Amino acid sequence: MKLNYLMPTRILLEEDCLYRNRILLGELGRKALVVTGKNSARVNGSYADAVQALEANGQDHVPFQRVMSNPTDLCVYEAGALARAEGCDFVLAIGGGSPMDAAKAAAVLALNDIPKEEFFGLAFKTALPVAAVPTTAGTGSETTPYSVLVDTTGPDGKTPRREGPVKRSVGSPLLFPRLAFLDPKYSFGLSRDITVHTAMDALSHGIEGMLSIRANHVSDLLARESMALIQGCLDLLCNFPSDPWTLSREVREKLLLASSIAGMVIAQSGTAVPHSMGYLFTLNWGTDHGRANGLLMGSFLKWCRAREAADPSIGPRIPVLCSALGMDLDRFCGIMEQLLGKREKATERELAAWGAMPMKNAANTYIKPGQEEIMAMFQDAVAGGNNLR
Ligand code: NAP
Ligand code: ZN
């Protein structure tokens, strides 16, 4: 057995946790770059709570309220430049995975003058401290050392990338947020689709974490717990109320905690091939990140099951995963279908292009799929193939 476990984020979960624990925020610096999306942080009260906590601490702040879903390289360079120009010495991220990931990259760019061509893949040595307030329950970015971005430009950082936009990530222990403030009240008004899709993301982090070559004893333990928490909410997710506000606090809290715990899983294990494949749906169709994973999950798991059955030398992980999910694979796939509703369909041309692309996380998957197998999963998931049993 080998273990190398790091999780330096302090997690605070309680009602009004930002204000109640503002003293911890006070330790991060004098002036915050407060990074949010365009609207939600002002609507759900998280931005106002943050300002109240900062002001009570006597801390200054400057807002950056322009992060789009799936943030771009251009966006994070802009945020980093603002932090630098304003002399910010820490970053407060509020929102879903997009503002949290943008904030982490801005924290690096505020201190480092990195040419765009070197940004992805550079082992930077400094970053401003980050505190995160997740307002969706899915990405777990508040407990991961990753920032996932859409790279839109060429090496000069200005002209559009010749091959088109691509999702890329930076990862460093420096990107673990110092503090994660989990207050479920910000997610009370989340729509059915955002709630379900982000829950699918958290679920996929637990599943892919268990099916990663880097899974370890602790990450498996955390994956089981995150899946058990989500499993307890599946009935309500399948029968989502017409008014999102009527979903109980307990359910919102469970989903938020499950998401943070699943973040701790992928912080250790990374993700597996569905994440790389799903990025193509997001880039080409604008599919929500969690839904993209959900569209692929059943096909991926059925392929894993078939490979395990065909080759006894592959340690059987699917039965272990199913016991963690509390159901067999067919039942799980049925629930995913119910949550997904009508599936998107890809054209032959799209499939041919995607099937030929390298999938970075394939090598992190406990059974490494080849190009043809990846194509078969795409076929099954979005070409109406239904050929994996
Ligand atoms: P998101 O892109 O952050 O947000 C999706 C939508 O939800 C936005 O329109 C946002 O509005 C809205 N929203 C956020 N909080 C809300 C609330 N409390 N009430 C109502 N609306 C709210 O979506 P996400 O799924 O959380 O994040 C996806 C990103 O995270 C992707 O780029 C993905 O690659 C990345 N990701 C990162 C990691 C990691 O480890 N770093 C892991 C998984 C995924 P506003 O724009 O107005 O805020
Ligand atoms: Zn994800």
Q: Give the pLDDT band (50/70/90) at residue 122.
A: confident
Mean pLDDT (the chain) is: 96
Residue 288 alpha carbon, nearest atom of ligand 1:
25
The b-or-e profile of 5-36 (16+ CB within 10 A means b, else e) is eebebebbeeeebbeebbebbeebbeebbbbb
Q: Name the residue of 100, 101, 255, 280 whose CB sits within 8 Å of the most ligand 1 atoms, as the mutation to test its pocket.
A: 101
- Residue 2: what pLDDT? 82
Give the C-alpha separation, 168 to 174, whole Å.
18
- Residue 129: what pLDDT? 98
274 touches ligand 1 (CB under 6 Å): no
For residue 107, give the nearest of 151, 158, 143, 64 by alpha carbon: 64
- Residue 1: what pLDDT? 80
What's the token pair of residue 57?
């601490």
Phi, psi of 168 (to 5 degrees): -135, 160
- Higher-pLDDT residue of 191, 355: 191
Residue whose Cα lies nearest atom 27 of ligand 1: it is 97
Beta strands in the chain (DSSP E): 10-13, 31-37, 60-67, 90-95, 130-134, 146-151, 166-171, 179-182
pLDDT, mean of residues 292-296? 98
The domains of the chain are located at 10-186, 190-383
pLDDT tens-digit map of 207-231: 999 999 999 999 999 999 999 999 9
269 touches ligand 1 (CB under 6 Å): no
104 touches ligand 1 (CB under 6 Å): no
The yes-or-no verdict on residue 384 having pLDDT over 80 is: no
Residue 189 alpha carbon, nearest atom of ligand 1:
19
Contact predicate 346/319, CB 8 Å: no
pLDDT tens-digit map of 84-104: 999 999 999 999 999 999 999
Q: Name the residue of 139, 279, 361 whose CB sits within 8 Å of the most ligand 1 atoms, as the mutation to test its pocket.
A: 139
CA of 137 to the centre of ligand 1 (A): 9
Ligand nearest to the CA of 265: 1
The yes-or-no verdict on residue 58 having pLDDT over 70 is: yes
Give the C-alpha separation, 240 to 27, whole Å.
40
The yes-or-no verdict on residue 386 having pLDDT over 80 is: no
CB atoms within 10 A of CB 213: 13
Ligand nearest to the CA of 204: 2
Token pair 């699917």: residue = 318
Please tell me whether residue 222 adopts helix, strand or coil conformation: helix
pLDDT tens-digit map of 358-382: 899 999 999 999 999 999 999 999 9
Give the C-alpha separation, 147 to 137, whole Å.
17
- Residue 389: what pLDDT? 66
- Higher-pLDDT residue of 94, 163: 94
Residue 101 alpha carbon, nearest atom of ligand 1:
41
Residue whose Cα lies nearest atom 9 of ligand 1: it is 69
CA distances in angstroms from 48 to 19, 52, 53, 100, 147, listed in the order given: 11, 6, 9, 17, 25
Beta strands in 195-352 (DSSP E): none
- Residue 148: what pLDDT? 98
Note the CATH architecture for domain 190-383.
Up-down Bundle (1.20)
97 touches ligand 1 (CB under 6 Å): yes
- Residue 176: what pLDDT? 98
Contact predicate 303/373, CB 8 Å: yes
| Residue 293 backbone class (left: φ over 0; alpha: ψ -120 to 50; beta: rest) | alpha
142 touches ligand 1 (CB under 6 Å): no
Element (H, E) at 280: helix 273-285
- Residue 385: what pLDDT? 64
For residue 208, give the nearest of 297, 280, 120 by alpha carbon: 297
Alpha helices in 46-141 (DSSP H): 46-56, 73-85, 97-109, 116-119
230 touches ligand 1 (CB under 6 Å): no
- Residue 289: what pLDDT? 98
Q: Is 10-186's fold the same as 190-383's?
A: no
Give the C-alpha separation, 23 to 7, whole Å.
21
9 touches ligand 1 (CB under 6 Å): no
Residue 186 alpha carbon, nearest atom of ligand 1:
18
pTM exceeds 0.85, yes or no:
yes
* Local structure of residue 38 (DSSP, 8 states): S
Note the CATH architecture for domain 10-186.
3-Layer(aba) Sandwich (3.40)
Q: Name the residue of 136, 175, 195, 198 whose CB sits within 8 Å of the most ligand 1 atoms, as the mutation to test its pocket.
A: 136
259 touches ligand 1 (CB under 6 Å): no
pLDDT tens-digit map of 11-42: 999 999 999 999 999 999 999 999 999 999 99
Lowest mean per-residue pLDDT among 184-198, 329-343, 351-365, 375-389? 375-389
